[in-house]
Every structure is written in C-alpha cells, then in structure tokens.
Amino acid sequence: TQLLEQSPQFLSIQEGENLTVYCNSSSVFSSLQWYRQEPGEGPVLLVTVVTGGEVKKLKRLTFQFGDARKDSSLHITAAQPGDTGLYLCAGVKSRGAQKLVFGQGTRLTINP
Amino acid sequence: SAVISQKPSRDICQRGTSLTIQCQVDSQVTMMFWYRQQPGQSLTLIATANQGSEATYESGFVIDKFPISRPNLTFSTLTVSNMSPEDSSIYLCSVERDRGQFYNEQFFGPGTRLTVL
C-alpha cells in the first residue's frame, strides 16, 4: 500500500493555466516536503511544511499542509514551460524519524 | 544545502557484473541514504548508511546484492552486485540535514543512471 497518494499522476496543460497537485494519506505526518525532479537530475527540495494549516508561497507555487497533517497540495499559478518536471511529495511520520515516505509522483508537462 | 556528487553519472554494464557507485558530500553528515528510481517511477529507499556501523536495509533489499560502505562522514559507496536487466534504474544518494527536532530535510545527488544489458 502506498502511504502517500499523489494525484494526478500525469498532467499536461498549456502555458498560463493554473493547476493543483494533491498528496493524500490516512496517516499523520510530522512534516511533508515537496521536491521537483528534472530529467537526468536528482530531486530538488522546494519546500517543507510542518504546521497543520500552514501555507507557504514560492513565487507562483503555493503549498498547503492540511489541518490534520494528513494531506498537502501544490498549486501553480500561470504555469510556464520551466515548471515541467516530476513533482514528488514526501513525508516524515514522526519527530526524529529518518525515513522519508515518497508519493508516486506527478509528471507535469507545460506546453508552450 | 549540501553539495553532493555521484560517480559515475551513468554506465552500461553486462549482466552478471558488479558496479560500485560513489557518493561524495561537501560537508560532514550523519545520515546518508541510497534510493532506487526505476524508469518513470518514484523513489524507493534501499538502505540507510551511518558512519561506523552497518547499513540498515529496507524490505526487499539485501546486503549481498547491495553492499554499502560508509568509511567516513562525507563519503559512501553502493555496489550493485551480479546485475541483471531488472537492476536498470537511477540510483540516488541523499543526505539529511537536521533542522532541529521537528523535521529533517534530505538533499539528493544527481543520480547514477545504470543500464544492464
């Protein structure tokens, strides 16, 4: 069973459109991270959310952690071709835990 | 963030042979992790490597197939032994930076793309 379910798994949209990627679980996480991975490279950390209900913004990207700390979302406004990549959510289940639990990933393509 | 390098960046190997992948970090870190990413898939943790102790392997991964060394706080190696085409994947190392008692962030190397013929 996948502890973190990401949706959609694939998304192809036109430049300028908005989109939201979801990361859901039945388990509580002490923190949750979002990564972006481009072809031929390792994942790059975008943000960490820690507090239930927390919202963080990174330019056109908005990240939210659910109140119950079981889910998270990534919203991109006015998507650009440079946003293309594999987006991964990953969670830490408890303080001091070292293992990250990864979602299946969302492969995003932004068409010019 | 830590700067992490991996060698080789890619390799094509014959079945039955072994390949050792190196991971070098620009600062001392306690925890290092090795992941496998199969084509089009997410990341699967292979093992966690602490300096001075044996690696801890995840379910489905064994030391005989994926021996790991961690000789110091900036370096680790992963060997993929007796390779088969099913081992064709991207292998990634990562390090953890402790941001305090609340959460730990991991930073990844660029990966080693392995193709087994």
What is the DSSP code (8-state) at residue A83? G
E-only strand ranges, A1-112 = 5-7, 10-14, 19-24, 31-37, 44-49, 55-58, 61-65, 71-76, 85-92, 101-102, 106-111
Q: Residue B20: its pLDDT value, please? A: 98
Minimum Cα–Cα distance from B30: chain A residue: A98
Q: Which of A30, A48, A88 sits opposite B105 (nearest CB)?
A: A48
How many interchain CB pairs under 8 A, A with B? 61
Per-residue pLDDT, B52: 78
Low-confidence ranges of chain B (pLDDT < 70): 98-103
What are the pLDDT digits (tens) for B37-52? 998 889 999 999 988 7
User: Using one digit for the tens of pLDDT, what is the confidence trace for A71-107?
Assistant: 999 999 999 999 999 999 999 877 666 688 899 999 9
How much is the pLDDT for A95?
62
Cα–Cα distance for residue pair B17/A45, rounded to 1 Å: 34
What confidence tens digit (pLDDT) does each residue in A27-62 have?
999 889 999 999 889 999 999 999 999 999 999 999
Report the residue from A35, A92, A107 with minimal CB separation from B103: A92
A19 φ/ψ angles, rounded to the nearest 5 degrees: -155, 160
pLDDT (0 to 100) of residue A112:
93
Residue B60 confidence (pLDDT): 93
The C-alpha atoms of residue B110 and residue B37 are separated, in whole angstroms, by: 12
For residue A1, pLDDT over 60 is answered with no
Taking an 8 Å cut-off on Cβ atoms, the answer to whether A42 and B96 are in contact is no
Q: CA B19 to CA B78: how far, in whole Å?
A: 8
pLDDT at B53: 80
Q: How far is B16 from chain A (nearest CA, A)?
A: 25
